A and B are shown apart, each in its own frame.
Chain A
């Protein structure tokens, strides 16, 4: 536009020059009239232009759920300049605009101008995303050389929390096959004041439980000792999330990892509301020194901690995963004999290591339920013409039944096809098998 209009403007000015030359050649006074119009026109445009001045006021939510639609409202105000503002307003990764547009034009004439732009955004994936900056290109009416680019920093982020299914007791209509007392006293619950024993400190232990005297007495070893108090509480459940490459099959918003997060959160919400102790671990790559985890406990805080971790969790791309319980997990399993639910997606390459991992958990004392998220249904959404859904299912079933044979008999396995089964139904199947 700048080139277009500038060319026009220059040509208008040149027109006045040509007319002046004609007037000179013809020595005709009337021709002067033809000079006035272009000169006055250009004069008005040049002398009404001020330096551009634009400000943006954002009304943008700081938190939303996956799948929710949020209205982004931006007030644009310009007090200076004479021309077009080409404005690109903030968005973030992993979203789609469902209504309106984040790009707009605004023409600022001599008078002050303000405008409100609204657009609706749907979050497609959980995470904490930085909003992009607003890019403004000012195209002045008299811009003869170049347009001007201005970037207005947004300096905001948006937290997209996973959408969870609120599970109800009535959803679990059938009795669990696993015979476990619902309100059995477990060894892990809120700590009481009754001293039980002393053991080595493991990361995650509260500092107040460190027994400094006992540690000092054992000064030959540089290890802290902590007091263990008797705990009372409900059953203990530990979710373990696989972060391997296998969890990325599909798109960024539809893959086993993204499906497993609302499943874990829905389960944790249900279990903590019942007073059970819920813990969380995630597998890590060999190159990673540590990964966040949550020691089993109950209450809203546990759920909030879990949500904070799961908002940020990402799969490890292109690296080998260490399928081995770490020290803290081994301690907790030995202490509490929990029900472990390992969420993964088995394939022909990772199943031997995962089977070993399941055996190690069982040997440590855990009851293991493995949830295998099937990816064929997700990919069939995008390549439906490849094979019929029925044919695909048969192949998967046959192949998976061979894979499942490798796992120890004490490890219960359920497969979940997210493309065909909702989180609620999957969670209820998991609940029955894991004895929630």
Chain B
């Protein structure tokens, strides 16, 4: 990947900045030490991933942060440990039980958006690397990859906004205000339908 090409390096920057915003917000809002520990641990894992990716880059492999998904899931551990069945049965975990850990869940889509943008950059970077040796017009190729990352960014942005709007709708509209277990069942039903359609479309192709 040539330096100075901002078209799709921008998606990497957006991904990085979003993750930092996510971590900063947890730092600003949390009052428990446990939350800090997990966020710091999450940041360490995230940056180790970036460092490893860059060390591979010198050996010709494109940067790919393999730990990004683990990093964003780590802050969930205090919530899971402090609430629900585990939190109520293991008194040793009461220290985790703090209302502001739930805030992590509230800002979690920012971290997801960050991961999507990083994935977007990695895919574009991968194609760019593969195509750079095939006699392509570099400027034209980067232009096309720029279009690709821009489109994915726009779709992710729409999904991000719709995600929050859906959550607000659940909170505000009484018809959507269902319990957690029915909500999860509905989720898995929607999930199954989506996956079935995705596989069907792929088979058609």
Contact = CB atoms under 8 A, between A and B. Distances in A.
Interface residues of B, number: 70
Interface string A22-53: 11111111111111111111111111010100
Nearest to B88: A27
B126 A46 contact: no
Interface stretch (B26-34, B37-45, B50-58, B183-191): B183-191
Given A26-B79, A28-B79, A34-B112, A105 B180 contact: no
Q: Most chain-B CB neighbours within 10 Å: which of A29, A100, A109? A: A29
Q: Is the interface of B mostly helix, strand, loop or mixed?
A: helix
A425 interface: no
Nearest to A50: B201
Given A32-B170, A49-B201, A142-B201, A20 B184 contact: yes
B160 interface: yes
Contacts, number: 189
B160 A37 contact: yes
A32 B183 contact: yes
Q: Is the interface of A mostly helix, strand, loop or mixed?
A: helix
Interface residues of A, number: 61
Nearest to B154: A109
Contacts of A5: 119, 123
A151 interface: no
Given A33-B164, A34-B105, A12 B115 contact: yes
A41 B156 contact: yes
Given A22-B80, A23-B184, A28-B83, A104 B127 contact: no
A39 B167 CA distance: 13
A32 B112 contact: no
A145 B203 contact: yes
A224 interface: no
Contact of A107 (B69, B109, B151, B199): B151
Given A12-B116, A33-B106, A34-B109, 9 more contacts: A1-B123, A4-B127, A16-B187, A27-B85, A29-B180, A47-B197, A101-B136, A105-B136, A107-B151
Q: Which 8 A-B pairs have the closest CB atoms?
A: A36-B163, A8-B119, A41-B159, A40-B159, A34-B108, A27-B84, A37-B163, A30-B105
9 contacts: A4-B126, A24-B84, A26-B76, A27-B83, A33-B105, A33-B109, A86-B131, A109-B147, A142-B202
